Structure 1
Amino acid sequence: MIIVTGATGTLNGATVEHLLQRVPAADVGVSVRDPGRAKHLAERGVRVRQGTYDDPAALRHSFADAEQILLVSSSDLAADVLAQHRTAIDAAVDAGAQRILYTSAQGAGFDTPYPPHAIHAASEAHLAASGVAWTALRNGFFGDLEQMVGPWQESGRITRPAAGPFPWVDRRDAGEAAASILAGEATFDGPVDVVPNAPVTFEDFAAAASELTGRTIERVVVDDEQWVSDEVAKGVPEEAARFILTMFQATRTGFFAHGDPVLNRLLGREPRSITDQLADQLAR
């Protein structure tokens, strides 16, 4: 059985949907905080059990009978995320999983220009010491597109601090790639970059937005501290704004300025471009 955590979210929700196109529903299970939000999966024959990274016993129950387990990295900024990851990995080992997959991030390491990646590196180290076969899906950056580029449709500008190229991935593509690996269409031991062939810049986003709308969308560079102040004035917690700022700062070093063909191979096509994603945003 293949068990997927975080299956009510966009990323691993896409993984489950694509898994169901590849394997019987009876071979798929999900471990979720709120089983009520996964009723649509239970109705299709997926095993739904409650589990959280803060409850080892519940995790072991939700992971029972698993051959493979896909662990989504925690997004709980108020929690000890590394401790949560270790709890989930240990529960997967205790449940007898033969392979553990973990959604990591490109460039994970203890000495990188992007400090949050140390958590992924420590989680990968715990996986490597687990004694179980493992795969770290080092995804590119993804998230809420409007949060990334701002309200460009209203302002006509993408106003962000100075930044370099970075790998922007559509969550749906990352989820589909994970399903391909879980279904046995490809096997990777250890870390693998799941990123587009080429990174993008905010200038690329502005050009794509201009082409889509027939308007001139400007890329405006703003001072780091000014950007933080502006975000705080909009109601964003300063800690969250500074967390995002570290990403912009890291891209300036060129650390993320490389792609990889693996995502294309896993999808069997080109991943969704930034033009595709902006068009989806306009259609909503």
Structure 2
Amino acid sequence: MIVVTGASGQLGRLVIQSLLKTVPAAGIVAAVRQPAAVADLAALGVQVRQADYAQPATLDATFQGATKVLLISSSALGERVAQHGNVIDAARRAGVALLAYTSLLHADTSPLGLAAEHTATEALLRASGVPHVLLRNGWYTENYLASLPAVLQHGAVIGSAGEGRIASAARADYADAAAAVLTRDDQAGQVHELAGDTSYTLAEFAAEVGRQTGRAIPYVNLPEADYRGALLGAGLPEPLAHLLADSDVGASKGGLFDDGHRLSALIGRPTTALAAMVEAALR
């Protein structure tokens, strides 16, 4: 039995959809805080169990009978290490054969501030004795596509990534990789550095948007403080604005680049191209 935590989120849903291609629905558990949010998965025969990273008792019940667990990292910045520790402890008590964790690309050497909670979680995994595999995910291309309305409104892409190359991939690509790992028997102890087959700078991202819209879309590189201020001015909450600005600076230092092609090797196909994703987003 495979348990997918955070199953109502964008990545979790995609992982379950990918698993359903090869795993009977009854062998999959969608672990969520609000079971009603995944009524559609329940209708397909997927087991739905209530689970909250911050409430260990719910995790013990959810992991009962589990052989493999996917721990999708929490979105609660600043609280993630404790929450992940609860999941790891519950997986140990359940005696799971494999715990897969969605970490960050090159977490142990990453210049992104986002890496700290991931490396702390990886340390907890090593100390736990639970057989585990690390899915060190790079950036989702959707992270940049989400800004397209603002880009088209203002006629420019802004950021602090400089000339840093970003080897992003579609969220669905990472989901397929997670499903592939969860359905194999040789994954304990593996560390997968996962990123897109090709990379781009934000100037090249802006140029692709411009090509497809027939407009001149420049990239404007800003100091980190100015970019964070622009994000705050657009209504983003301070923690998210700080995270995005810091991540852009990390990208300028190579933190979002990898050319190992491990992701496409895992999923057995090329990762989704930037041009195709821009086209779909513009539609």
Question: With structure 2 as the length reference, what TM-score do the two structures score?
Answer: 0.92
Give, in angstroms, the shift of residue 185 of structure 1. 7.9
Distance across 2 between alignment mates of 1:224 and 1:26: 48
Deviates more, 1:166-175 or 1:249-258: 249-258
Distance 1:262 1:146, change over 3 A: closer
Q: Cα 1:92–1:185, aligned 2, differ >3 Å: closer, same or farther?
A: closer
Task: Count residues with an aligned counterpart.
Answer: 281
Deviation at 1:150, TM superposition (A): 6.5
Contact 1:186-1:266 within 8 A present in 2 as well: no
Corresponding position of 1:168: 168
The answer to whether the Cα contact below 8 Å between 1:26 and 1:45 also exists between their aligned partners in 2 is yes
Assess if the C-alpha contact under 8 Å between 2:133 and 2:191 holds in 1: yes
Structure 2 residue 137 is matched with structure 1 residue 135: no
Equivalent residue number for residue 80 of structure 1: 79
Post-superposition CA distance 1:64-90 (Å, at most 9, x none): 11110000000013x521000000111
Counterpart residue identity of residue 67, structure 2: E
Shift of 1:259: 1.9
Deviations 1:146-189 (A, max 9, x none): 44567222222112224311221211111111111112287362
CA contact (8 A) 2:99 2:132 kept: yes
Contact 1:149 1:160 in 2 (8 A): no
Gapped regions of structure 2 (runs ≥ 5): none
Q: Which moved more, 1:177-186 or 1:45-54?
A: 177-186
Contact 1:198 1:260 in 2 (8 A): no
Secondary structure at the aligned position of 1:129 is classed as helix
Which structure 2 residues correspond to residues 1-284 of structure 1 after superposition, within 5 A?
1-77=1-77, 80-109=79-108, 112-142=110-140, 143-147=142-146, 151-163=150-162, 164-184=164-184, 187=187, 189-283=189-283
Shift of 1:258: 2.4
Residues in 1 aligned to 2:97 and 2:247: alpha-carbon distance in whole angstroms: 34
Q: d(CA) in 1 for partners of 2:237 and 2:20? A: 39
- Aligned partners of 1:112, 1:144: CA distance in 2, in Å? 18
- Distance in 1, Cα, partners of 2:110 & 2:172: 27
Q: Deviations over 1:214-249 (max 9, x none)?
A: 222211222322222222222223333222111111
User: 1:29 is paired with a residue of what secondary structure?
Assistant: strand
Q: Distance in 1 between matches of 2:40 and 2:53?
A: 23
**Secondary structure of 1:7's aligned partner:** coil
**Aligned-residue RMSD, C-alpha:** 1.9
- Cα shift at 1:95: 1.3
State whether residues 199 and 256 of structure 1, in contact with CA within 8 Å, keep that contact through their aligned partners in structure 2: no
Which one-letter code corresponds to 2:139 in the other structure?
A: F
Deviation at 1:106, TM superposition (A): 0.4
Q: What amino acid is the match of 2:198?
A: A
Aligned letter for 1:70? L
Query: Partners in 2 of 1:257 and 1:26 — Cα distance?
Result: 38
Separation in structure 2 between the aligned mates of residue 188 and residue 198 of structure 1, nearest angstrom? 28
Query: Bigger CA drift: 146-155 or 118-127?
Result: 146-155
Q: What is the alpha-carbon distance in structure 2 between the residues aligned to residue 112 and residue 208 of structure 1?
A: 27
How far does residue 27 in structure 1 lie from its aligned partner after superposition?
Answer: 1.0
Length-normalised TM-score, structure 1: 0.92
